[in-house]
Amino acid sequence: MRHNILLAFSFAKRDFKERYVGTGLGQLWYILSPVITIFIYTVVFSDFMKMKLDIVDNSYAYSIHLVPALLAWTTFSTILMRLNSSFLDKAHMIKKINVPMYTFQLAIVLTELFMFTISMLLGVGFLVLVDQPVTLTFLWLIPLMILQSLFVFGLGAILSLFTPFFKDLKEAVPIVVQLWFWVTPIIYMKEMLSHKYPALLTYNPFFYFADSYQDIFLYSKAPSLARIMLMVIMTLFILFLAGYLYKKMVGTIKDII
Amino acid sequence: MRKVLEVKNVSKLYKIYKSNTDRLKEIFTKKSYHKEFIANNSISFELFEGETLGIIGVNGAGKSTILKIIAGVIEPSSGEVIRHGRVTALLELGTGFNNEMSGYENIYLNGTLIGMKRDEVAKVAKDIVEFSELGDYIHEPIKSYSSGMRMRLAFSIAIFSEPQILIVDEALSVGDAHFASKCTNALRERKKQNMSIIYVSHDLNSLKLLCDRVILLNHGEIVEEGESEDVINSYNFLISKLNDNEDKMVIKEANNSSFGTFEVEIKEVKIIGKKSKSNLISSGEESTIEVIIEAKKALKDMTVGIMIRDKFGQDIFGTNSFYQNIAIDFESNCSYLCSFDMPLNIGTGKYSITTAVHSKDNHLDNCSHWLDHATDFEVAGIEGELFAGICRLEPKIRFTKRDNQPCTE
> Is residue B122 less than 8 Å (CB to CB) from chain A?
no
Contact A251 B74 (CB under 8 A): yes
Q: Which of A256, A222, A207 is nearest to A72 (CA)?
A: A207
Range scoring the smallest mean pLDDT among A18-22, B183-187, B312-316: A18-22
> Is residue A252 less than 8 Å (CB to CB) from chain B?
yes
The Cβ of residue B178 has, within 10 Å, a number of other Cβ atoms equal to 9
Q: Which residue has the higher pLDDT, B229 or B4?
A: B4
Tens-digit pLDDT string for chain A (257 aa): 787 888 888 888 878 877 777 777 777 888 888 888 888 888 887 777 776 677 777 778 888 888 999 999 999 999 999 999 998 888 888 877 788 889 999 999 999 999 999 999 999 999 998 888 889 999 999 999 999 999 999 999 999 999 988 888 888 999 999 999 999 998 888 888 888 888 888 899 999 999 999 999 999 999 999 999 999 999 999 999 999 999 988 888 888 87
At B64, which amino acid appears? S
CA of A227: how far to CAs of A218, A224, A255, B110, B360, in Å? 18, 5, 42, 44, 105
Q: Residue B254's pLDDT is what?
A: 43
Q: How is residue B407 annotated by DSSP? A: P
Q: 0.80 exceeded by the pTM?
A: no
pLDDT at position B174 over 70: no
Query: Are the beta carbons of B173 and B201 closer than 8 angstroms?
Result: yes
At A69, which amino acid appears? A
- Please tell me the distance from the alpha carbon of residue A48 to that of residue A65, in angstroms, as a whole number: 17
How many helices and strands (H and E) does chain A possess? 12, 0
Query: Are the beta carbons of B38 and B217 closer than 8 angstroms?
Result: no
First CA to last CA across chain B, in angstroms? 50
For B:77-96, CB contacts with A below 8 A are: 87, 89, 91-92, 95-96
At A83, which amino acid appears? L
Q: What confidence tens digit (pLDDT) does each residue in A55-109 have?
A: 777 778 888 888 999 999 999 999 999 999 998 888 888 877 788 889 999 999 9
B74: exposed, middle or buried (Cβ count in 10 Å: 0-12, 13-18, 19+): buried
Structural domains in chain A (count):
1
Region at B178 (left for phi over 0; alpha for psi -120 to 50; beta for the rest): alpha
- Please tell me the distance from the alpha carbon of residue B111 to that of residue A9, in angstroms, as a whole number: 15
The structural domains of chain B, ordered by start, are 3-233 (3.40.50.300), 254-382 (2.70.50.60)
- Please tell me the distance from the alpha carbon of residue B45 to that of residue B231, in angstroms, as a whole number: 15
CA of B230: how far to CAs of A114, B279, B281, B378, B387, in Å? 60, 14, 12, 16, 22
Query: Are the beta carbons of A73 and A207 closer than 8 angstroms?
Result: no
Q: Residue B243's pLDDT is what?
A: 61
At B349, which amino acid appears? G
> Is residue B13 less than 8 Å (CB to CB) from chain A?
no
Q: For chain B, what percentages of helix, strand and coil (3-state, to nearest 5) are there?
A: 30, 35, 35
Contact A97 B114 (CB under 8 A): yes
- Please tell me the distance from the alpha carbon of residue B380 to that of residue B399, in angstroms, as a whole number: 31
> Is residue A257 less than 8 Å (CB to CB) from chain B?
no
Q: Give the pairing type, strands B52-56 and B334-343.
A: unpaired
Q: What confidence tens digit (pLDDT) does each residue in B48-91 have?
A: 998 999 999 888 888 888 988 998 888 888 999 999 888 888 76
- Cβ-Cβ contacts under 8 Å for B357 (sequence gap 6 or more): B260, B264, B266, B293, B302, B303, B304, B305, B367, B368, B369
3-state secondary structure (DSSP) of residue A206 = helix
Q: Residue A242's pLDDT is what?
A: 96
- A241: closest CA of chain B, how far (Å): 14
Average pLDDT, chain B: 84
CA of B56: how far to CAs of A19, A124, B207, in Å? 43, 64, 9
Nearest to A165 among B24, B109, B118 (CB): B24
Q: Which of B234, B345, B358 is nearest to B306 (CA)?
A: B358
Q: For chain A, what percentages of helix, strand and coil (3-state, to nearest 5) are there?
A: 80, 0, 20
Q: Which of B170, B197, B172, B201 is nearest to B184 (CA)?
A: B172
Give the helix/strand (H/E) hosting A225.
Answer: helix A225-256
Q: How confident is the model at residue B193 (pLDDT cuts 50, 70, 90)?
A: confident
Q: Residue B252's pLDDT is what?
A: 40
Task: For residue A150, report the phi and psi dihedrals to the nearest 5 degrees.
Answer: -65, -40
Contact A251 B14 (CB under 8 A): no
Q: What confidence tens digit (pLDDT) does each residue in B357-382 have?
A: 988 777 777 788 888 888 889 898 88
Contact B23 A256 (CB under 8 A): yes
Q: Residue B250's pLDDT is what?
A: 40
The Cβ of residue A5 has, within 10 Å, a number of other Cβ atoms equal to 13
Q: Which of A4, A161, A225, A75 is nearest to B23 (CA)?
A: A161
Q: Residue B93's pLDDT is what?
A: 66
**Length of chain A, in residues:** 257
The Cβ of residue B155 has, within 10 Å, a number of other Cβ atoms equal to 27
The half-sphere exposure of B11 on its side-chain side, counting CA atoms within 13 A, is: 11
Contact B20 A98 (CB under 8 A): no
- A94: closest CA of chain B, how far (Å): 7
Query: Are the beta carbons of B379 and B348 closer than 8 angstroms?
Result: yes
Query: Are the beta carbons of B341 and B248 closer than 8 angstroms?
Result: no
> Is residue B118 less than 8 Å (CB to CB) from chain A?
yes
The Cβ of residue B55 has, within 10 Å, a number of other Cβ atoms equal to 27
pLDDT at position B253 over 50: no
Which residues constitute the domain of residue A104? 2-256
Contacts of A97 in chain B (CB under 8 A): 73, 89, 95-96, 113-114
Contact A96 B117 (CB under 8 A): no
First CA to last CA across chain A, in angstroms? 24
Nearest to A96 among B14, B91, B112 (CB): B91
- Please tell me the distance from the alpha carbon of residue A13 to that of residue B118, in angstroms, as a whole number: 13
The sheet carrying B196-200 orders its strands as: B87-90, B165-169, B196-200, B52-56, B213-218, B221-226
Q: Residue B99's pLDDT is what?
A: 81
> Is residue A1 less than 8 Å (CB to CB) from chain B?
no
At A18, which amino acid appears? E
Instruction: Give strand pairing partners of B402.
Output: none
**Length of chain B, in residues:** 409
Q: What is the largest CA-CA distance in chain A?
A: 59
> Is residue A94 less than 8 Å (CB to CB) from chain B?
yes
Query: Are the beta carbons of B306 and B292 closer than 8 angstroms?
Result: no
